[in-house]
């Protein structure tokens, strides 16, 4: 199994631009696995899609939603 974690510092303005881009490309904001999780559009029914979460000036990507449990910033989410 291959897992991917990504982390990128973004200003609030950069996040708003990225958020608009995500929504325009089919990402859907969910409250699970953590509040504010942007679920990647389903492109292949055989695979679980990843997603993005923005917290405190940081954008995180996980290739599988349950991986958010390994990101310290979401420990209290």
In the chain, where the domains are located: 5-74
User: So what's the pLDDT on residue 45?
Assistant: 78
| Residue range 31-69, pLDDT digits in tens | 999 999 999 998 877 777 899 999 999 999 999 898 998
Model confidence, pTM: 0.87
Q: Residue 58 in contact with residue 42, Cβ under 8 Å?
A: no
CATH code 3.40.50 for 5-74:
no
Higher pLDDT pick, 47 / 70: 70
User: How is 7-63 classified by DSSP, letter by letter?
Assistant: EEE--HHHHHHHHHHHHHTT-EEESSSSTTEEEPPP--TTS---EEEEETTEEEEES
């Amino acid at each position: 199994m291959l897992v991917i974690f990504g982390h990128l510092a973004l200003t609030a303005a950069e996040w708003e631009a990225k958020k608009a881009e995500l929504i325009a490309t089919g990402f859907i904001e969910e409250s699970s696995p953590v509040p504010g999780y942007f679920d990647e559009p389903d492109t292949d029914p055989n695979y679980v899609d990843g997603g993005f979460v923005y917290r405190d000036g940081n954008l995180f990507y996980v290739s599988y939603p349950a991986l958010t449990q390994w990101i310290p910033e979401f420990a209290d989410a």
